[in-house]
Amino acid sequence: MSFEIRSKDLLGRIGLLHTKTGTVETPLLLPVVNPNHQLIPAKELRSSFGFDAVITNSYLVWRRYREDPSPPKIHDLLNFDGVIATDSGAYQILRYGDVEVQANDIIHFQEQLESDIAVILDIPTDQAASKSRAKWTVDETLRRADEALRVIKRKDILWVGPVQGGVYPDLVAASAKEMAKRSFPIHALGSPTTVMQQYQYDVLVDMIMAAKLNLPPDRPLHLFGAGHPMMFALAIALGCDIFDSASYAIFARNGRYLTAHGTAKIADLEYFPCNCQSCHGHKPAEVKRMLLLERERFLAAHNLHMCLSELQTVKQALVEGRLWELVESRSHNHPSLQRAFRNMLKYREAIERETPVRKTKGPFIISHNSLSRPEILRHQKRLIVNYTPPAKVKTVILFPERYLEPFREDSERDPILEKIGNRSHVHLCTYGLAYGIIPEELLDVYPLSQSEHSLAPEANIIHSAVDRIVEFLEKANYKSCLIVTEEKWQEKLAKATQRRLSKKMKVKIIEREKLNSSAIMQIAKPKARKRMR
């Protein structure tokens, strides 16, 4: 196996990718190194920045050494002793329409270079392509993949089988299904560059998920051209494992300064919002006075530090089980990310299936969008499918959220619970905005009592809670329900629940201070039958 998974959260994972040169950790960012012009020497990318892998363009190397029967090894050419991936020239096809090299020739050339990871010469799908043209790129890429597998000799190289289809999710899904049948140890989503350049991250979500849901989970997914730190959290949460980008250099050339929140022009900065090795001890005014090449190198170095820092932030959130919180937080950095995050929610069922059941920390629930997170979906699903209420109990009492806590199981500690007396004839649950309804006996089960939420009792959030409460009560088949309230929003929730269940069970609402044994018996006592005269 070339890939092993160490940690998971949402669809994201931390893994180890084994190559013939060494093992690297994913999520992995591959800085693009131009073989003909290195703004920052590849050797420094490892020694000064900590990048253990880079990517370069084998087609550009081929153009330089095409007449040489023994071209230099790629590690010697770049002076880099880490893992090196080589692209095949497909980006040049996307940009210029064609390349001079044949598909099989670039495969043999990458084998001569002794690349660690190599890409076949696929046909990328242009964003503006018609659907018929897009389908042709899918079919032609699959044909080339089959031909590549016949001519590949080096089995110690990790070959990448690209997925095409562009902005047509059905074509991307079909491409992924077919490419999954081929024995490529790595897959890549091709042609997302234009979509990302135009900040169409919501479209990118559909492209990624169409590929991810149809590829084998034991193979890493490479997102070509994704190098802006503002979208790392989103892409990793959707299951992307490898990224590559020349953005650190391209943005530097244009006088732009990367942050996790977006891109700033160095001309507009008066202060550096960063304390990386490049920015520490410098002020923007100094950088503005630098010579052009010196300023470009400064910005490129900062951009690299920023990319690596954000990648580490995402990894830490992943191992802590807080990747959802990070994605939701980052989605507020730009309207395009907010649209993408909302689009991600339609894949919540697939995300829930891949999210670990237990984590080291409880979830934070901070908005209506948080109600789609895996922990809440899983609780409701298991409550409906797996949970059985206590036998022979026909009355349920719903207390406001967090009124019942695991440490309150001894009713003598609470006068309200003490008033209930013999609790064998009633079932106690708590209700709230986050999880809807929680039976008393499950209160200390992860993540219910470990969660924190700041949900405001807005109409849509109350409506979502009512949906979940009603679904549970209907399934549990109680005969009567007593809803205890303390605040105005709880009254609204209780009345909405009462209306929804009016034809199915007896529902009564009572303020907490009025709760007593008489009120409970009134709701729990069955109607007396009239005697026959």
pLDDT for residue 230: 93
Within-domain flag for 316: yes
- By percentage, how much of the chain surpasses pLDDT 90? 75
pLDDT at 528 over 50: no
Within-domain flag for 292: no
With b meaning 16 or more CB within 10 Å and e meaning fewer, what string describes 90-111?
Answer: bbbbbeeeebebebbebbebbb
pLDDT at 486 over 60: yes
pLDDT at 89 over 90: no
DSSP state of 355: S
What phi, psi does 437 have (nearest 5°)?
A: -140, 140
Task: Look up tokens 């994704």; give the residue.
Answer: 226
pLDDT, tens only, 305-356: 999 999 999 999 999 999 999 999 999 999 999 999 999 999 999 999 999 9
- Looking up residue 476, the CATH number of its domain turns out to be 3.40.50.10630
pLDDT at 253 over 70: yes
Split at pLDDT 50, 70, 90, the class of 95 is confident
DSSP state of 274: -
How far apart CA 381 and CA 375 sit, in angstroms, is: 10
* Helix, strand, coil shares, percent, the chain, to 5: 45, 20, 35
pLDDT for residue 524: 64
Residues 40 and 124 in one domain: yes
Burial status of residue 50 (CB atoms within 10 A of its CB: 0-12, 13-18, 19 or more) = exposed
Residue with the bigger pLDDT between 20 and 94: it is 20
CA 110, chain centre distance (Å) = 32
Residues 25 and 161 in one domain: yes
How far apart CA 244 and CA 29 sit, in angstroms, is: 6
The boundaries of the domain holding residue 22 are 3-251+260-269+297-354
Closest CA to 53 of 76, 19, 8: 19
Residues 306 and 407 in one domain: no
CA 86, chain centre distance (Å) = 26
pLDDT at 419 over 80: no
Residues 384 and 478 in one domain: yes
How far apart CA 374 and CA 483 sit, in angstroms, is: 27
Residues 335 and 458 in one domain: no
> Are the C-beta atoms of residues 172 and 210 closer than 8 Å to each other?
yes
Mean pLDDT of 500-527: 79
Q: How many domains does the chain have?
A: 2
Annotated active-site residue 170? The verdict is no
pLDDT for residue 99: 86
pLDDT for residue 527: 52
Within-domain flag for 101: yes
Residues 423 and 505 in one domain: yes
Residues 459 and 344 in one domain: no
How far apart CA 36 and CA 64 sit, in angstroms, is: 9
What phi, psi does 6 have (nearest 5°)?
A: -105, -40
> Are the C-beta atoms of residues 219 and 4 closer than 8 Å to each other?
no
Residues 130 and 241 in one domain: yes
* Rg, C-alpha atoms of the chain: 29
Residues 401 and 471 in one domain: yes
pLDDT, tens only, 104-117: 999 999 999 999 99
CA 69, chain centre distance (Å) = 45
Quick one: tokens of 314? 């995402």
What are the CA-CA distances from residue 162 to residues 108, 203, 205, 470 (Å)? 18, 18, 17, 46
> Are the C-beta atoms of residues 191 and 93 closer than 8 Å to each other?
no
Q: Residue 378: helix, strand or coil by DSSP? A: helix
Split at pLDDT 50, 70, 90, the class of 531 is very low
Quick one: tokens of 237? 């949460």
How far apart CA 234 and CA 205 sit, in angstroms, is: 9
Note if the bond before 273 is cis, omega within 30 degrees. Answer: no
Is the torsion defined by CA of 240, 75, 43, 81 positive or negative? positive
Length of the chain in terms of residues written: 533
pLDDT at 409 over 60: no
Within-domain flag for 24: yes
Within-domain flag for 58: yes
How far apart CA 399 and CA 397 sit, in angstroms, is: 6
pLDDT for residue 518: 72
Within-domain flag for 474: yes
pLDDT at 425 over 90: no
Q: Where is average pLDDT lowest: 345-359, 460-474, 511-525?
A: 511-525
Q: In sequence order, which residues have a C-beta less than 8 Å from that of residue 326 and are 6 or more positions away? A: 233, 313, 314, 317
| β 28-33/242-245 pair status | parallel
DSSP calls for 420-479:
H--GGGEEEEEEETTTEEEEGGGTTSTTTTT-EE-----HHHHHHHHHHHHHHHHHHT-S
Tell me the residue ranges of DSSP E strands in 267-352.
Answer: none
How far apart CA 141 and CA 143 sit, in angstroms, is: 5
Give the domain-ending residue among 309, 333, 354.
Answer: 354
Residues 121 and 195 in one domain: yes
> Are the C-beta atoms of residues 223 and 243 closer than 8 Å to each other?
yes
pLDDT at 520 over 80: no
- By percentage, how much of the chain surpasses pLDDT 70? 94
Within-domain flag for 276: no
pLDDT, tens only, 130-186: 999 999 999 999 999 999 999 999 999 999 999 999 999 999 999 999 999 999 999
Q: Residue 516: helix, strand or coil by DSSP? A: coil
How many secondary structure helices (H) and strands (E) does the chain include?
Answer: 21, 20
pLDDT at 526 over 80: no
Among 9, 87, 126, 206, the active-site one is 87
How far apart CA 96 and CA 73 sit, in angstroms, is: 27
pLDDT at 412 over 70: no
- Looking up residue 31, the CATH number of its domain turns out to be 3.20.20.105
Split at pLDDT 50, 70, 90, the class of 401 is confident
Residues 348 and 393 in one domain: no
Split at pLDDT 50, 70, 90, the class of 530 is very low
Give the domain-ending residue among 336, 354, 372.
Answer: 354
Closest CA to 431 of 484, 385, 362: 484
Give the domain-ending residue among 330, 354, 378.
Answer: 354
How far apart CA 413 and CA 298 sit, in angstroms, is: 65
Within-domain flag for 281: no
pLDDT for residue 529: 43
Residues 333 and 371 in one domain: no
* Predicted model pTM: 0.92
Split at pLDDT 50, 70, 90, the class of 407 is low
